[in-house]
Amino acid sequence: MIDLLRREYWDALDPQVTSPRMKEYVAESSDFRAGDDIASLLLDFQQEQFQALMSGKKTSQRRHEILHSLRERLFKTADARNTFCSTLVLDGYLIATDEQTESLNITEAVTEVDDRVELNKFLQLFWKPILEVVCQKKLLPILMLALVKRLSKTSQNTEDCTNNLTLGWINAICTAMPLVDGKSVSCKGGM
């Protein structure tokens, strides 16, 4: 129906819509909307997950719907997959802000154990459903690359909480994915 309206009405009123410049603008706008959709779904997930964990629930119908939307609608293109992983490594998502850790009653988001950074288990539990989607959709290499890129762009100060959270996620993901005979094992174990 929308295509019919576009062809018969909107395009007929404005012949410049079919110009290369306009097509580029429309494509860019679609990418921004896809990014906004991903961020919106991730924020919805965070709110639902927070409520579920604070009330002691294991799952909820709303969280299931959010995860279903992520699986089905947003992973149809490479751009959507890249946008999803890039969004996950922003502050306020996997890289928890001070306000988020405080609201989750987490005193230490990361700790140093034997020369490596360990991520708080509650943070891992909080994001486990999203990380399962990452594994199901075979996005782990893209997510790891996004984490490494983020780490390379932040300051070299090892005391920096952002760096430590990023290192914590890299360590948690790597230790959850042991190699057996050179083949990667499913993400279901570990985290």
Cα distances (Å, whole numbers) of residue 66 to 44, 60, 187, 188: 7, 10, 20, 20
Cα distances (Å, whole numbers) of residue 107 to 26, 98, 104, 121, 123: 45, 10, 9, 12, 11
For 84-105, what is each residue's pLDDT tens digit? 999 999 999 999 998 888 888 8
With a cut of 50, say whether residue 15 has pLDDT above it.
no
Q: What is the pTM for the complete model shown?
A: 0.71
Helices (H), 110-160: 121-136, 140-153
The domain segmentation of the chain, as residue ranges, is: 2-184
Query: Secondary structure of the chain: what % helix, strand, coil (to 5)?
Result: 65, 5, 25
At which residue do the structure tokens 């939307």 appear? 69
With a cut of 50, say whether residue 36 has pLDDT above it.
yes
Least confident interval from 18-22, 84-88, 129-133, 186-190:
18-22
Using CB atoms within 10 Å of the CB of residue 89, give its burial: 0 to 12 exposed, 13 to 18 middle, 19+ buried: buried
With a cut of 90, say whether residue 74 has pLDDT above it.
no
For 101-124, what is each residue's pLDDT tens digit? 888 888 888 888 887 788 989 899
